[in-house]
Structure 1
Amino acid sequence: MDRYPVSSGTEWESTVGYSRAVRVGSQVHVSGTTATGEDGDVVAPGDPYAQTKYALEVVADALEEAGSSLEDVVRTRLYVTDIDGWEAIGKAHGEVFGDVRPAASMVEVQRLIDPDHRVEIEAVAIVDGPG
């Protein structure tokens, strides 16, 4: 089965040994994605809603490069540093996914890679047709 990795081009991918996303057959798995801009700075520090929206834009870009889209997402996992922000995070997730409504989990974690990150998102998509 063909394996198609998607790279964001950051130095961390080769150092840590991961890909932004990987497509194998009809499945696309997107790695944990945070609100980190192309300059390496955290986008919207302290704002879980804005960080969720930004991270999902990055997820959408990775899916597109793998021949998929947000409409193909069947599962998301949201790791958050303060579960009290669940409504803002959930609102942003709902605005992006609308009628797609993937299976989703939101889990509070002690911390993420940068103390200014409030959310990290993983996604799985199933695509019709060949890879």
Structure 2
Amino acid sequence: MAGDITRDTTTGDIVAAAPSGMAKPGGHYSHAVTAGGFVFVAGQLPIAPDGTKLNEAAFEAQARQVLDNVAAALAGAGSGIDRLVQVRVYVTDIANWPAFDALYAAWAGAARPARAVVPVPQLHYGFLVEVEATALAS
């Protein structure tokens, strides 16, 4: 699992992960933070590892990139899709939900974390989807 992380789950320390293979965060936040035996993944937008913003891409391409980013953040924090507990999905058009759900089902496989969909009027940079998640740490 790639990323620079040192973690002492016995002390309850809050540790920011620095997952490799992801664009640098665009603000004052970490892609993933571990605390209390959990990994908290910040809202992931469709931004490629090289920093390219996919705001002009089709919904499905944006959704795939977001899910890839969530997986990379989890891996960088020493967790994985199979350890997901909760996922929150923000979409700017609820009509895209069936397409997202199909991509998500293939991506999540046997994992069935609690999940919410939140329709929103807009997302940063004109993106169409954003996902945040919580998982068990390893």
The normalised TM-score by structure 2 is 0.81
1:79 aligns with 2:90: yes
Structure 1: stretches of 5+ with no match in the other structure:
none
For residue 48 of structure 2, give the secondary structure of its aligned residue in structure 1: coil
Match runs of 1:1-131 below 5 Å: 1-7=12-18, 10=24, 12-13=26-27, 17-43=28-54, 45-115=56-126, 117-128=127-138
> Which residue is 2:6 aligned to?
none
Distance 1:12 1:41 in 2: 12
Which secondary structure state, in structure 2, belongs to the residue aligned with residue 2 of structure 1? coil
Question: Structure 1 residue 68: deviation in Å?
Answer: 0.4
Which of 1 and 2 has higher RCO (CA within 8 Å, sep 6+)?
1
TM-score normalised by structure 1 residue count: 0.85
What is the CA–CA distance in structure 1 between the aligned matches of 2:69 and 2:135, rounded to whole Å? 14
What value does the CA root-mean-square deviation take over the aligned residues?
1.8
Paired with 1:9 and 1:80, the residues of 2 have a C-alpha distance of 21
Amino acid at match of 1:127: A
5+ residue gaps, structure 2 = 1-11
1:46–1:118 Cα contact (<8 Å) kept: no
**Displaced runs of 4 or more, over 3 A:** none
Letter in 2 for 1:123: A
